[in-house]
A and B are shown apart, each in its own frame.
Chain A
Amino acid sequence: MRVGIPRSLFYYYYGDIWKNFFDSLNISYIESPKTNQEIIDRGIKMANDEMCLSLKNYLGHIDYLKDKCDYILVPRISNFKNSNQTCTNFWAAYDIVKNLFPVNILHYNIDLEKGQTLKKGLYKIGKELNKNHHEIYKAYKYAITREKKRIKKNHIINLNKLKVNKTKILIVGHPYNLYDEMIGKDIIKYLIKNNIEVIYSDKFDSKITNPLSKKLSKDLYFKYSKDNLGSIIYCKNNIDGVIFISAFPCAPDSLANELAMRKLQIPHLNLVIDDSTSFTGLETRLESFLDMLGGSLND
């Protein structure tokens, strides 16, 4: 028995937890490969043409996995209490996949307002895979302690980056866009090649950044956008510029990033990535942005 883990959307938030959890339970799993043109094309074929690039991408990964495993892991994430919703695509992902693909789906629901937690979700999965209570408990503990350590480590790495004596740019975006090979990876590679210290907005501890977003936006209720805006406030005195990366047409980003850009006093660049965006166009914009930063640094 093999579980398929699509390397998109939820993977970048929960991937490590899932892998550690399955490792500890002795369940074999297969991850879809890093996004390539073929996967994007598959996704576009399956998806509706107005869906956001990240969701198309996700469907492409599922299409790749559908005949390579017995189960595909598709969670549904709705909210984290206290005005921390997610995008409605995260609410609907499970139902869309269920209707579009004739596959066995392993799923759980995170809805803290109704008491559906990650713990309950992983227990549900464990039981569906015929593991007993004790085994699941051990695996859950293992995965969670690993995850906590990872968050702490990332936070410290990011903090150390802020002290480096180089041009520092904060990249603001959702991890499923930033680290995806076809969406954000090229931009980050280009920045690193040009000797820029890249700080990722999602690698801060969200317990710290989430409340800080109140300083930019009082009413915002999208959790991942809140984390992003909070990270800008958190390190705005130590960075030289901000680059916003979002997929076209991302719903929360279209409003939250616009508000942030209108309120920010730091130089910023907004990059919206489409399935037909060529990197050459982006390169020109990045180059001029870096030139501008260099200019203001020398003054």
Chain B
Amino acid sequence: MIKIAFPHMGDYHIPANYLLSHIFPNTIVIKAPKITSKTIELGTKHSPEFVCTPFKYTLGTMIECLDEGANILIQMGGGCRYGYYAELQEKILKDLDYNCKVINLVTEGQTNIKRINNLLKQIDPKYSKIKALYYGFITLKMVKYMDKIDDYIRENIGFELTVGSFESLKEEMLITFSHVKSYKELYRAYKRYLKKFHNIKVHKPDNRLKIGIIGELYTIMEPFSNYYLEKELAKHHIEIKRFTNVHYLLFEKAHKYKKYKKYSKEYFTYNMGADASDNIARSKYLCEHNYDGIIHIKSSFCTPEIGAMPIINKIASFYHKPVLFFSFDSATSETGINTRLEAFYDMLEMRKDK
């Protein structure tokens, strides 16, 4: 019996689960257990010492999934060393006496349909390609709608009148999304919920604080790895702008890069790897569009972002905007983060009052 599992990243386990369970009806898709501090401990114990943190998170989740009986694991890759995780993780898991296979969908930041086809054949040689295309299309649309709704939530969640109304509605929406049968149904559900979200009453003062969050893709999208930073900001009634999401990575990154390059050509000439050059352009955008501050988050030892940090600093000091750098590790303490965040928030308030 084939049991598939994949590491967590935000809420994206819902579309991924949807896709896999429809393409491979004869297999079981295991929902990975929620990331806890135990997961991280497990991952850190078996990882090389100075690898970046997503490696530890995903490895920990993989071990927990294997304990639940999974035998095929799916790993995504990125443009930096993320693309090389899968091979080493497979070796580490084999050394731990697990019998499993790790499938890496993206390597060197690139992938194509032929490669994905070959990889899917390893799971089930007789899978239906037409079904895969159809449900793949629905999944991509689902990701797009989720990201759109998330953007709206991020802008408004700090100002809701009844606390928790956005979150409960979002949970409801995700459950509805995971049960749709056709694209039409998905689209209708999306429209319905979009209306519902717009109907939630918010009170947005004119002098509200606006913050842009930029940084490394895994840390920014997995709330556990950034210690629920967005929630913490929402508690302080701050409007949040975030650029990176899966829809951006899949469809917009390639053509937006050219725009970004033109927009901030005085700061970078070449692609600096992964999201580094995007983040430089975004920080310029945030500075020019009246945002009050920038928060840059990354996992520790993320090489491309480290390269971008001095340049982001330069941009921020040119426009006289405050910028806060967070580097999250498996050993970061939550209290330390909250203290720094509160100090940053107080500073923004004081600047605003001037």
List residues of A whose CB falls within 8 A of some B CB: 47-48, 50-52, 76, 78, 83, 85, 87-89, 91-92, 94-96, 98-100, 109, 217-222, 248-252, 254-259, 262-263, 272
Asked if B270 CB lies within 8 Å of chain A CBs, one says yes
Q: List 21 A-B contacts (CB under 8 A).
A: A48-B309, A48-B310, A50-B327, A51-B306, A76-B269, A87-B303, A91-B273, A92-B272, A92-B307, A94-B270, A95-B307, A99-B310, A219-B86, A220-B84, A220-B87, A222-B81, A251-B301, A252-B81, A254-B49, A258-B48, A262-B92
**Residues from chain A with Cβ under 8 Å of B314 in the complex:** 99
Most chain B beta-carbon neighbours within 10 Å: one of A78, A91, A221, A256:
A91
**Residues from chain A with Cβ under 8 Å of B273 in the complex:** 88, 91-92
**Residues from chain A with Cβ under 8 Å of B300 in the complex:** 50
In the complex, besides A88-B274, A92-B307, 14 extra interface pairs with C-beta distance below 8 angstroms are: A76-B269, A78-B271, A83-B108, A85-B108, A88-B276, A88-B303, A95-B268, A219-B86, A219-B87, A220-B87, A251-B301, A251-B303, A255-B84, A272-B49
| Nearest-neighbor residue (CB-CB) of B55 within chain A | A255
Q: Contacts A99-B267, A221-B84 hold; do A91 and B272 have CB atoms under 8 A apart?
A: yes
Shortest Cβ distance from A207 into chain B, in angstroms?
Answer: 21
Bound form: Cα–Cα A159–B101 in Å:
38
Q: B270: which of A50, A76, A259 is its contact (CB, 8 Å)?
A: A76
Asked if B51 CB lies within 8 Å of chain A CBs, one says yes
Q: A91: which of B84, B108, B270 is its contact (CB, 8 Å)?
A: B270
Shortest Cβ distance from A83 into chain B, in angstroms?
Answer: 7
Q: Contacts A99-B267, A217-B87 hold; do A251 and B80 have CB atoms under 8 A apart?
A: yes
| Nearest-neighbor residue (CB-CB) of A99 within chain B | B311
**Residues from chain B with Cβ under 8 Å of A222 in the complex:** 81, 84
- Do B303 and A52 have beta carbons less than 8 Å apart? yes
Bound form: Cα–Cα A76–B87 in Å:
28
Bound form: Cα–Cα A258–B83 in Å:
16
Asked if B91 CB lies within 8 Å of chain A CBs, one says yes
- Do B269 and A95 have beta carbons less than 8 Å apart? yes
Asked if B353 CB lies within 8 Å of chain A CBs, one says no
Give chain B interface residues in 259-311, CB to chain A under 8 Å.
267-274, 276, 300-301, 303-304, 306-311
Bound form: Cα–Cα A248–B327 in Å:
16
**Residues from chain B with Cβ under 8 Å of A98 in the complex:** 269
Most chain B beta-carbon neighbours within 10 Å: one of A51, A218, A255:
A255
- Do A96 and B95 have beta carbons less than 8 Å apart? no
Shortest Cβ distance from B201 into chain A, in angstroms?
Answer: 44
| Nearest-neighbor residue (CB-CB) of B84 within chain A | A255
Give chain B interface residues in 308-349, CB to chain A under 8 Å.
308-311, 314, 327
Asked if B163 CB lies within 8 Å of chain A CBs, one says no
Most chain B beta-carbon neighbours within 10 Å: one of A250, A257, A258:
A258
Bound form: Cα–Cα A257–B48 in Å:
9
- Do A89 and B270 have beta carbons less than 8 Å apart? no
- Do A89 and B50 have beta carbons less than 8 Å apart? no
**Residues from chain B with Cβ under 8 Å of A92 in the complex:** 270, 272-273, 276, 304, 307-308
Shortest Cβ distance from B354 into chain A, in angstroms?
Answer: 29
Bound form: Cα–Cα A217–B95 in Å:
16
Asked if B178 CB lies within 8 Å of chain A CBs, one says no
| Nearest-neighbor residue (CB-CB) of A46 within chain B | B310
Shortest Cβ distance from B272 into chain A, in angstroms?
Answer: 4
Q: Contacts A94-B270, A219-B84 hold; do A88 and B301 have CB atoms under 8 A apart?
A: no
Most chain A beta-carbon neighbours within 10 Å: one of B51, B81, B271, B276:
B81
Shortest Cβ distance from B181 into chain A, in angstroms?
Answer: 37
| Nearest-neighbor residue (CB-CB) of B269 within chain A | A95
Give chain B interface residues in 230-247, CB to chain A under 8 Å.
none
Bound form: Cα–Cα A272–B50 in Å:
10
Bound form: Cα–Cα A220–B107 in Å:
9
**Residues from chain A with Cβ under 8 Å of B270 in the complex:** 76, 78, 91-92, 94-95, 109
Q: Contacts A217-B87, A219-B86 hold; do A88 and B80 have CB atoms under 8 A apart?
A: yes
Bound form: Cα–Cα A88–B50 in Å:
16
| Nearest-neighbor residue (CB-CB) of B104 within chain A | A219
Bound form: Cα–Cα A251–B80 in Å:
9
| Nearest-neighbor residue (CB-CB) of A252 within chain B | B81
Asked if B161 CB lies within 8 Å of chain A CBs, one says no
**Residues from chain B with Cβ under 8 Å of A219 in the complex:** 83-84, 86-87, 104, 107
- Do B95 and A91 have beta carbons less than 8 Å apart? no
Bound form: Cα–Cα A210–B271 in Å:
25
- Do A50 and B301 have beta carbons less than 8 Å apart? yes
What string of 1s and 0s marks CB contacts (under 8 Å) between B75-91 and chain A?
A: 00000110111111001
Q: A255: which of B48, B107, B274, B307 is its contact (CB, 8 Å)?
A: B48
Most chain A beta-carbon neighbours within 10 Å: one of B268, B304, B310:
B310
- Do B303 and A95 have beta carbons less than 8 Å apart? no
Bound form: Cα–Cα A152–B260 in Å:
44
Q: Contacts A50-B301, A92-B272 hold; do A218 and B308 have CB atoms under 8 A apart?
A: no
**Residues from chain B with Cβ under 8 Å of A47 in the complex:** 310
Shortest Cβ distance from A214 into chain B, in angstroms?
Answer: 12
- Do A221 and B85 have beta carbons less than 8 Å apart? no
Shortest Cβ distance from B207 into chain A, in angstroms?
Answer: 33
**Residues from chain B with Cβ under 8 Å of A96 in the complex:** 307, 310-311
**Residues from chain B with Cβ under 8 Å of A251 in the complex:** 52, 80-81, 301, 303
